[in-house]
């Protein structure tokens, strides 16, 4: 039996609204005791003692939107690098999208990737199954078999399901399997060749605009289908005020709807594109300042449930192009915690709320059974210093994908250690 | 009007106070390494380039001496790097460079639009190794000229990047107007047609607004870019309304792929609603002048009788003046390109 006792910690558990100096005991991978004050001597017996020296100790982050370049483009970032980069970012579980090559639309791929991940160590890997075969948005993939193999939900990657009949059936089937459906909310017909958010900046730069309405149009359609099917629906990387208002109304109505956003959408706006710097080419695109403010408000009031990194490994060559043809996406696992903490330092969120967005909420949405410091749950933990400052440098990333829209940005928050099942997967 | 060898203060505009230039008698000294757009140029820079171009236009027309008219670009290599087909702009730059004594190389990079994007930086690196002094670049992607300028040692002139800017076109348009009308300030200028996809429109809006013209845009709502009114223009969807009392009617080319689709239903309807003919032109000011950056789609945005009207059409003059305007630009960047070598 392995026993690890964390002492002198600032215990932070959004599940219990706990923020107090305390201790935590992990035994054989599970949390067995946690509480305020100092651990009594019986807990110390035969335990490895880790003195947190006042650092924050919280549930490990659950990053519910990550693209893995492995399989298919391992030269950009293989699974080993990704899981260790996540670990260094305080993430104990990542949930990977099915848009790999080949597409993860088959139970055997869920099996084999999950197995590979256990051999690697680093963060835990969970997977979404592709909603449709080859992500083409037409024929349904074997959702049931993938669910049995461990798929935590279904997603069509960065392609929205445009066909309403296909969408209705996917929601109905997901409801039967009791798995959430993760939608990339974008009316592709409306955004067409869009290169950035439509507005004054796109006009000035001569870039083709993708209107913000493309996001809310899909959510509004899907809400009707959710009423028909009762499916659990999760709107991914929400970026616009209109979409947020739709989700707010759906929640008020009691529909089983959740949403996440990613740091670019609460940290940056479309003005960043002004230099044509392709690090700011993202999907969805950076929006207006008004949208950014709406995202922050929605994170604070609970309309948006979770924050994910939206990590996308991108080839430098795919970015060394004019803005239009350059590939969207940027690295995210290295900066997820510090960027989210900036909302705390700016006074928009309480620290416990920030941690809820990063661990408890995604864990609950996907039924992962973690994200809390309650005895009986897995001892997946992050130890961090919430105030230590540094400047974001892509070149210093543990991820092998080093494109970031946050290059040179000063942030506060440093991960000291990350644990999975009580064992360290990262130590600073 | 001529500004030859004198500090020709342009009509209706404050005389440039900068000591960087001494009127049109000497090359313009720009505070920029590259000419990537009109946005970001000061009124002083713009007026200086126009004045200098005015002087070159006089020189070309005077027929007193054969070209080259200057040795400014002697020993300098100018590369015309065109990722999009062009005849008039490329030839215009080539002639302008030769009039200043420069050596010119033309490179036309063919291929699909995707391939063009992929090869831009490779091409830039390759060309950079050949130590050109000035790169004149045209590309189908907005921002391509800026991207190129970040990867080469040469001075870069944007000869059109996607839907973004075409600064030398705007400069030659302004010079054409100034030589014919005498001023730009206070003129009512209607820019008509495919605004959304036009780099000419954007550069002209920046430049003509900077010089105090009243700008109207006329186009179908499907070809109107978002939030364009933020650029200080008035928008019309009725051609006759939009050109009412206008001093200048500037027609834009409608891209053939937009003639029948979801932006405009047909060539016939477009000409009917937005094409310029003699009848509609009667709404404009009595001495209104017609401009078009070329190449024209006759019978789509303009009918031939109007386009070829020697009294009213400045279209051929624009081409002629283009060489002079580009001489002023090349000369202005020659200094910058020489300093760094």
Would an 8 Å CB–CB cutoff place B225 in contact with chain A? yes
Are the beta carbons of A208 and B163 separated by less than 8 Å? Answer: yes
ipTM of the complex: 0.90
- What is chain B's pLDDT, residue by residue, as a tens digit (341 residues)? 333 333 333 443 444 443 343 456 788 988 899 999 999 899 999 999 999 999 999 999 998 888 899 899 999 999 999 998 889 999 999 999 999 999 999 988 865 444 555 578 888 888 899 999 999 999 999 999 999 999 999 999 999 999 999 999 999 999 999 999 999 999 999 999 999 999 999 999 999 999 999 999 999 999 999 999 889 999 999 999 999 999 999 999 998 777 778 899 999 999 999 999 999 999 999 999 999 999 999 999 999 999 999 999 999 999 999 999 999 999 999 976 544 43
Using a CB–CB cutoff of 8 Å, tell me whether B164 touches chain A.
yes
For residue A323, is pLDDT > 90? yes
The mean of the pLDDT values for chain A is 97
Inter-chain contacts counted by CB atoms under 8 A, chains A and B: 74
- B142 with A276: Cβ contact below 8 A: yes
**Measured between CB atoms, does B166 come within 8 Å of chain A?**
no
Check if A310 is active-site.
Answer: yes
pLDDT of residue B123: 85
DSSP lists the bridge partners of residue A306 as: A260
Chosen for mutation from A195, A205, A316 (greatest number of chain B CBs closer than 10 Å) is: A205
- Residues in chain A closer than 8 A to B206 (CB atoms): none
**Interface subset of A 322-361, CB within 8 angstroms of B:** 322-326
Q: Do B147 and A209 touch (CB under 8 A)?
A: no
Chain B residues within an 8 Å CB radius of A321:
117-118, 120-121, 141, 147
- In sequence order, the 6+-apart residues with CB closer than 8 A to the CB of A126 are A93, A94, A95, A96, A114, A150, A152, A366, A368
Nearest to B141 among A203, A204, A322 (CB): A322
Residues in chain B with CB shorter than 8 Å from the CB of A199 are 226-227
Q: Establish how many alpha carbons lie within 13 A of residue A300's alpha carbon, considering only the half-sphere containing its beta carbon.
A: 14
How many Å apart are CA A37 and CA A55, to the nearest integer? 14
CA angle, corner A216, sides to A211 and A220, nearest 5?
Answer: 145
Q: Is A274 on the interface with B (CB under 8 A)?
A: no
Calculate mean pLDDT across residues A28-33.
96
Exposed, middle or buried, A32 (CB in 10 Å: 0-12/13-18/19+)?
Answer: middle
Residues A361, A263, A178, A103, CA torsion sign: negative
The residue whose two tokens read 């702009």 is B89
pLDDT tens sequence across A161-205 = 999 999 999 999 999 999 999 999 999 999 999 999 999 999 999
Contact check, Cβ <8 Å, B163/A200: no
Kindly name the residue from A105, A222, A310, A380 that is annotated as catalytic: A310
Please indicate whether, in this complex, the C-beta atoms of B227 and A199 are within 8 angstroms of each other. yes
The verdict on a CB contact (< 8 Å) between B226 and A200 is yes
Task: Mark yes or no for CB contact A322/B143 under 8 Å.
Answer: yes
Give me the mean pLDDT over the A128-157 stretch.
98
B142:A199 CB<8 A: no
Distance CA A365, CA A179 (A): 9
């Amino acid at each position: 039996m392995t026993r690890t006792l964390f002492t002198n910690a600032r215990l932070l558990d959004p599940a219990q609204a706990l923020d107090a100096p305390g201790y935590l005991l992990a035994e054989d991978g599970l949390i067995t005791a946690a509480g305020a004050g100092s651990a009594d001597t019986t807990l110390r017996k035969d335990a490895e003692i880790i003195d947190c020296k006042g650092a924050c100790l919280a549930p490990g982050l659950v990053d519910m939107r990550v693209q893995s370049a492995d399989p298919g483009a391992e030269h950009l970032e293989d699974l080993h690098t990704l899981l260790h980069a996540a670990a260094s970012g305080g993430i104990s579980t990542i949930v990977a999208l099915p848009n790999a090559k080949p597409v993860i639309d088959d139970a055997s791929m869920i099996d084999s990737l999950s197995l590979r991940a256990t051999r690697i160590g680093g963060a835990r890997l969970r997977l979404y199954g592709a909603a449709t075969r080859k992500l083409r948005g037409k024929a349904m993939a074997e959702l049931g078999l993938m669910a049995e193999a461990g798929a935590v939900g279904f997603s069509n990657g960065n392609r929205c399901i445009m066909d309403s009949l296909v969408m209705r059936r996917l929601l109905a089937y997901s409801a039967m399997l009791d798995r959430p459906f993760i939608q990339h909310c974008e009316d592709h017909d409306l955004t067409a060749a869009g290169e950035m958010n439509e507005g004054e900046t796109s006009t000035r730069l001569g870039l083709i605009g993708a209107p913000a309405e493309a996001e809310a149009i899909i959510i509004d359609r899907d809400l009707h289908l959710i009423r028909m099917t009762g499916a659990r629906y999760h709107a991914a990387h929400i970026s616009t005020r209109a979409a947020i208002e739709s989700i707010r109304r759906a929640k008020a109505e009691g529909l089983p709807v959740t949403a996440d956003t990613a740091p670019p959408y609460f940290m940056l706006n479309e003005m960043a594109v002004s230099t044509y710097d392709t690090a700011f080419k993202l999907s969805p695109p950076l929006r207006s300042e008004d949208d950014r403010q709406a995202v922050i408000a929605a994170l604070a009031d609970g309309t948006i449930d979770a924050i994910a990194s939206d990590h996308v490994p991108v080839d430098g060559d795919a970015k060394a192009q004019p803005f239009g043809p350059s590939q969207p996406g940027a690295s995210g696992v290295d900066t997820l915690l510090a960027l989210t903490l900036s909302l705390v330092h700016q006074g928009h969120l309480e620290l416990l709320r920030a941690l809820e967005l990063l661990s408890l909420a995604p864990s609950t949405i996907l039924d992962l059974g973690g994200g809390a410091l309650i005895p009986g749950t897995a001892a997946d933990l992050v130890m961090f210093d919430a105030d230590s400052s540094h400047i974001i440098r892509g070149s210093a990333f543990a991820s092998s994908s080093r494109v970031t829209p946050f290059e040179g940005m000063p942030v506060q928050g440093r991960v000291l250690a990350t644990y999975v099942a009580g064992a360290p997967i990262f130590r600073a | 009007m001529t500004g030859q060898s004198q500090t020709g203060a342009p009509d209706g505009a404050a005389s440039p106070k900068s000591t960087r230039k001494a009127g049109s008698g000497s090359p313009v000294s720009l505070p920029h390494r590259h000419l990537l757009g009109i946005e970001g140029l000061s009124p002083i820079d713009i007026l200086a380039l126009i004045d200098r171009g005015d002087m070159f236009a006089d020189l070309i027309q005077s027929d007193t001496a054969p070209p080259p008219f200057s040795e400014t670009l002697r020993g300098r290599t100018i590369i015309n790097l065109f990722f999009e087909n062009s005849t008039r702009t490329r030839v215009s730059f080539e002639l302008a460079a030769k009039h200043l004594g420069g050596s010119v190389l033309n490179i036309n990079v063919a291929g699909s639009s995707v391939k063009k994007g992929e090869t831009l930086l490779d091409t830039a690196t390759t060309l950079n190794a050949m130590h050109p002094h000035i790169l004149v670049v045209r590309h189908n992607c907005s921002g391509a000229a800026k991207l190129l300028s970040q990867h080469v040692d040469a001075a870069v002139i944007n000869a059109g990047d996607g839907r973004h800017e075409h600064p030398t076109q705007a400069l030659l348009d302004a010079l054409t107007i100034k030589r014919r009308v005498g001023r730009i300030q206070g003129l009512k200028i209607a820019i008509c047609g495919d605004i959304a996809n036009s780099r000419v429109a954007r550069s002209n809006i920046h430049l003509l607004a900077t010089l105090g013209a009243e700008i109207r845009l006329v186009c179908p709502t499907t070809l109107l870019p978002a939030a364009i009114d933020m650029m200080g223009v008035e928008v019309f969807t009725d051609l006759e309304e939009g050109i009412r009392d206008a001093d200048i009617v500037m027609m834009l080319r409608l891209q053939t792929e937009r003639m029948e689709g979801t932006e405009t239903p047909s060539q016939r309807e477009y000409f009917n609603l937005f094409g310029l003919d003699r009848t509609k032109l009667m709404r404009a000011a009595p001495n209104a002048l017609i401009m078009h950056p070329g190449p024209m789609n006759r019978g789509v945005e303009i009918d031939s009788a109007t386009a070829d009207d020697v009294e009213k059409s400045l279209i051929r003059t624009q081409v002629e003046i283009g060489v002079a305007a580009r001489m002023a630009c090349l000369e202005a960047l020659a200094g910058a390109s020489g300093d760094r070598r």
